[in-house]
Amino acid sequence: MYSPDIVYSISPPVRNDTLNALFAAAWPNHSWRDFQPVLACSLAYVCCSASNQLIGFVNLAWDGGLHAFLLDTTVHPARQRQGIGSALVRQTTAVARERDVAWLHVDYEPHLDSFYRNCGFQPTLAGLIQL
């Protein structure tokens, strides 16, 4: 859905309080965190704003080589189901492609399978250890 007040930005300056407010609204168990060290190591991140308020975010983490990872895809609950999440993923995929990433990975919970499939991701087997 197109909305003229929505702006997507690649790696703009973003404050911890702004990101924590978005995450607290979107994730019930969110605990305050310092995002700056993570953002400093990211290949990029994409922010979505409406009326100068952050309403969406996705981080493009990477291994320093050919692999990058979508992390923390988040849209404010009041703005979900409006195509913002898909647009965030599309923009982040384009950034990864422009920066010569060969493989873009994402881990997600089963209820997000159709969302990520619609964004072009194919499911794969993977391993995980919670530390």
Residue 113 banded pLDDT, cuts 50, 70, 90: very high
Which token pair is 80?
């979900």
pTM: 0.92
pLDDT, position 79? 95
What are 36-86's pLDDT values in tens digits?
999 999 999 999 999 999 999 999 999 999 999 999 999 999 999 999 999
Examine the pLDDT at 1 and tell me if it is beyond 60. Answer: no
Q: Which fold has domain 6-118?
A: Aminopeptidase (3.40.630)
Query: Residue for token digits 């290949």?
Result: 43
Task: Report the Cα–Cα distance between both ends of the chain, in Å, rounded.
Answer: 39
Residue 2 banded pLDDT, cuts 50, 70, 90: low
- CA–centroid distance for 37 within its chain: 16
